[in-house]
Structure 1
Amino acid sequence: MKIEPKQIKIREVFDGYADQGDDGVFAYGGRLAIRPPYQREFVYDNDQAESVIQTVLKGFPLNVMYWVKASPDSYEVLDGQQRTLSVMQYLKHQYPITLDGKKYYWDALPDDSYDAIMNYEFMVYICEGKESEKLEWFRVVNIAGAKLTEQELRNSVYTGAWLSDAKRYFSKRNCAAKLLSDKYITGDPNRQELLEKALRGICEYQGISEITEYMARYKSDADADELWQYFQDVIHWVEKIFPKYFLDMKGLDWCHLYNEYHNFAYNSSVMAAEVKRLHEDEDVQKPKGIYEFLLCRDTDPFAGRLLNLRAFDKRDKLAAYSRQNGICPICGEHFAFEEMEGDHIKPWSKGGQTTPDNCQMLCKACNGKKSDKY
C-alpha cells in the first residue's frame, strides 16, 4: 500500500460538508466520504466530541488520520471518522463547548478561537491500495481506538444494497428493530450488536453455520426484508406466548428460543399464570430460566435444571443419608456421603418441595440419569 503524508486545514475539509444520512457523509468539496460503507456509525458522545475541539483549540496534535484514495480526485476516511465528525458537527452547531465556564456554540466563538479551529491542520496519510489491503489496514489502525465488533468487521467486507437496507432496520439509535425489541433483546444498534443477534438467529433458523455465509449469500439482494420479517416474527411470538411482561425477560436469547419452540402450541393464559407462580416460588433460584423451562418442560425431563432449584442443605442430606444407611435407593449400592447427592423424592415439577421429608440421597451416577419420574 502506498502512503503519502499531507497536512489539510479544517476549513478545507469543512468545505461542502453534507450529512446525507443513510447515503453517507461528505466533505472536502464533496471529494471526501467521511463515512464509507465499512466504517462504524458515529459513536462519540458529546464529552468525547468536545475533547476533540478542545485539543484543536489548544493547538495540540490529534492522532494521524488515514484517507484512502478512491479515485484520482476522491477519498474515503479509513481511520479518523469520529474525530473528523466531531469537528464537522461542532461547525454545524450540533453541540456546544465550554470556554472559561461558559457554553459556546460555533457561531458565538471569539474570533481568535474561530481562526484557531479553521486554520488547524489535520495530519492525514493518503493511502492507495487494493480493497483487501484497505480493509486489512483498517483492522490494524483501529486497534488503538474503539475496538471493532465482529459484526462491524463483517460489515466491512459484505457491503452493498442488502447491508444498507439491513442497517436501516437494525443499526440506528432509534431504528425499527430497537423500538420493537428493546424490552426483550439487549445490544447497541450503533455497534451492530442488534444486527448480529438477528443474523445469528436467522442463521440458526435456516441451518447456516456462519453469519458470513448468510451475508455472502444475500449481499447482492436489493433489500433485507427476509431478515427483518424473521426478527418481527420472533418478537411477536414472544409477546403472544408470554403476554405479561417481566423485567427478567430482557436479555434472553429469544431468537434461539423461537427457533426451538415456535412450532409448539401453548396456552398464553396458562403461561402467564405459570410465570407468576414460578416467580413466587422460593425454590426457583434462576428466574431467567422460567421462560425456557415453560417452553420445554413437556419435552425435556431435565427442564427443572434451567431454574437452578434451591438445593437441600447439608443437615437435611445427612439425615436422609442416615435413614438410608448410605444405600442408593435406585441402584442399591452403598456409597460414602460425599459420593451422593440430595434429590427430591417427589419431583419439584410435580409439586414436591425442598423439605427434609422430601429428601433422598442418590449416588451421583443415578442422580445424573434421574428425570422427573415419581
Structure 2
Amino acid sequence: MDIDLHPIAIREVVEGYTDDGEGGVFGYAGHLNIRPPYQREFVYKQKQRDAVIDTIFKGFPLNVFYWVENPDGTFEILDGQQRTVSLSQYANGDFSVDVGGNLKGFPNLTADEQERFLDYELLVYRCKGPDSEKLDWFRTINIAGEKLEDQELLNATYYGPWLTHAKSIFSKTGGAAYGLGEKYLVGEPIRQKYLETALKWISERDGLEHHKQYMAAHQHDQNANELWSYFRSIIHWVEDTFPKYRSLMKGQPWGPLYDRYGQDPVDTDALEIEIAALIQDDEVTSNRGIYQYVLTRDPKHLSLRQFSDDQRLAIYERQGGRCANGAKCKTVGNDNGQQVFELAKMDADHIVPWSKGGRTDIANGQMLCISCNRSKGAL
C-alpha cells in the first residue's frame, strides 16, 4: 500500500458536509466518503466529541487521519471517522463547546476564532492499495478514542450489499430491529451488538462454529431478508410464549431456545404462574435463569441455594461425622457405616430434593461421603 502525507485544512474537509443517515456521510466538497460500508456509526460521547474541538482551539496536534484514494479520485476514510464527524458537526453549528470560558457554537465564534478553527491543518495520510490491504490496515491501526468491537472488525472484512442491508435493520438506534427487540437484547445497535446477536443465533441454528462463516457465505447476497425473518420469528415467539414482560427477559439466549422449543405447544398461563412462583422462591438464587429453566427443566439455570458452612457443620455434628448412608456407604473400608470422615471429605445433600418441595435447612439436610454423593448424582 502506498502512503503519502497531505496536510489538509479543516475548511477543506468540512466543505459540503452532508449526513443523509443511511444515504451516507460526505465531506471535502463531496469527494470524501466519511462513512464507507465497512465503517462503524458515529459513537463518540459528548466528552470525546468536545475534546476534539478543544484540541483544535488549544493548537494541540490531533492523531493522524488515513484516507483511501479510490481509482476515480475520490476518497474514503480508513481511520478518523469519529474525529471528522465531530469537526464537521461543530462547523455545521450542531453543538457548542467551551471556548475561552464561554459556551460557543461555530456561529457564535468571532471571525478570528472561526478562521483559527478552519485553518487548522489535519495530518492526513492518503493511501492507495487493493481492498485486501486496505481492510487489513483498517483491522490493525489504532482507532483513536474507541476500541473497535469484534463485530465492527468483521463488518470491515465482509462488507457488501448483504451487510449494507443488514446494518440498515440491525445497526440503527430506533431502527427496525431495535423497535422489535430492544426489550429482549442487550448492547447498543450502533456498536453492532444487535447484528452480532442475530448472527450468532442463526449461525448456531445452522451448526456453524463462528458467525463469520455465515457472513462469508452471504456477503454478496443482495439482502439480509433471511436473517431479518429469522430474528422476527424469534421475538414474536418470545412475545407469544411469555406475554407478561419482565426485565429478566433481556439478554436471554432466545435464539437457541426458539430453535429447540419454538414448535412445542405451551400453556402460557401455567408458565406465568410457575415463573411468578419461582421469582418468589428463596431457594432460587438466579432469577435470570428462570426463563431457561421453565423451557429446559434443567435446575442448573436456577443456581439453587446451597447449604451454608454453618449448616454443613451442624448437620455433620448431628451425624457424628458418619455418612448418612450408614451400612450402605459406598466408601471402601467403611465397615458397617461406622467410619468417621473429616468435614472436608463430605458433601451436604437435600433429603427431599427441591423439585419435590425440599428446603435448604438443617432438618432437610444430610451429610454424605464424597463417594456416596457422587454415586447418588449418577443415578
Cross-structure match for 1:317:
312
Alignment RMSD (CA, Å): 2.1
AA aligned to 1:305 is K
Matches of 2:62 and 2:233, distance apart in 1: 46
Alpha-carbon distance in 1 for matches of 2:281, 2:376: 23
Relative distance call for 1:233 and 1:372 in structure 2 (3 A) is: farther
1:144 Cα shift?
A: 5.3
Q: How does 1:40-79 map to 2 (within 5 A)?
A: 40-79=40-79
Match of 2:369 among 345, 359, 363: 363
Q: Which residue does the alignment assign to 1:119?
A: 119
What is the one-letter code of the residue matched to 2:346?
M
Is contact 2:293–2:301 with CA below 8 Å preserved after alignment?
yes
Residue pair 1:46, 1:95 contacting (<8 A) in 2 also: no
For 1:326, the equivalent position in structure 2 comes to 322
After superposition, the C-alpha distances for 1:290-334 in whole angstroms (9 at most, x for unaligned) are 11111111xxxxx22221111223454345444486235375434
CA gap 1:108/1:18 in 2 versus in 1, 3 angstroms: same
Q: Could you report, residue by residue, the CA deviation over 1:247-293 in whole angstroms, capped at 9, with x for unpaired residues? A: 22222222232233223322111111111111111111111111111
Per the alignment, residue 172 of structure 1 pairs with 172
> Is 1:280 the equivalent of 2:280?
yes
- 2: distance between equivalents of 1:363 and 1:194? 48
Corresponding letter in the other structure for 1:326: R
SS of 2:68's equivalent in the other structure is strand
Choose 259-268 or 330-339, whichever is displaced more.
330-339
Asked if the contact 2:135/2:156 (under 8 Å) is kept, the reply is yes
How many corresponding residue pairs? 368
Question: Bigger CA drift: 212-221 or 172-181?
Answer: 172-181
Query: Structure 1 pair 370/230, CA: closer, same or farther in 2 (3 Å)?
Result: farther
* 2:243 aligned with 1:243: yes
The match for 1:342 among 343, 348, 356 is 348
SS at match of 1:71: coil
Query: Aligned pair in 2 of structure 1 residues 277, 24: CA closer, same or farther (>3 Å)?
Result: same
Please, which moves more after superposition, 243-252 or 149-158? 243-252
Contact 2:139 2:156 in 1 (8 A): no
Specify every segment of 5 or more residues in structure 2 that has no aligned partner in the other structure, as ranges. none
Counterpart in 2 of 1:157? 157
Whole-Å separation in 2 of the counterparts to 1:248 and 1:278: 12
Contact 1:185/1:253 (CA < 8 Å) preserved in 2? no
Amino acid at match of 1:343: D
Residue 50 of structure 1 contacts residue 97 of structure 1 at CA under 8 Å; is this kept in 2? yes
Secondary structure, aligned partner of 2:70: strand
The answer on whether the counterparts of 2:161 and 2:219 sit within 8 Å (CA) in structure 1 is: yes
Contact 1:168 1:175 in 2 (8 A): yes
Verify the 8 A CA contact 2:347 2:368 in the aligned structure 1.
Answer: yes
Q: Gaps spanning 5+ residues in structure 1: where?
A: 298-302
Shift of 1:213: 1.2
Distance 1:240 1:372, change over 3 A: farther
Worse-matched range after superposition: 40-49 or 138-147? 138-147
Distance 1:59 1:53 in 2: 10
Match of 2:302 in 1: 307
Q: CA deviation at 1:71?
A: 1.7
In the alignment, is the contact (CA less than 8 A) between 2:350 and 2:365 conserved in 1? yes
Tell me, yes or no, if the aligned pair for 1:347 and 1:372 is still in contact at 8 Å: no
Shift of 1:162: 0.9
Query: Do the aligned residues in 1 keep the contact of 2:330 with 2:371 (CA within 8 Å)?
Result: no
- C-alpha displacement at 1:181, in angstroms? 1.8
Separation in 1 of the partners of 2:371 and 2:330?
12
Identity %: 45
Secondary structure in 1 aligned to 2:187?
coil
Alpha carbons 1:98, 1:104 under 8 Å: kept: yes
Q: What letter matches 1:367 in structure 2?
A: N
Distance 2:46 2:145 in 1: 17
Kept after mapping to 2: 8 A contact 1:349/1:372? no
Closer, same or farther: CA 347–179 of 1 in aligned 2, 3 Å: same
1:69-97 Cα offsets, whole Å, 9 max, x none, are 11251111111111111011112222122
| Aligned residues of 1:204 and 1:259 also touching (Cα < 8 A) | no
User: How many Å separate the matches in 2 of 1:318 and 1:51?
Assistant: 59
Distance 1:132 1:245 in 2: 46
Match of 1:300 in 2: none
Give the drift of 1:153. 0.8
TM value normalised by structure 1: 0.91
Aligned-residue offset at 1:168: 0.9
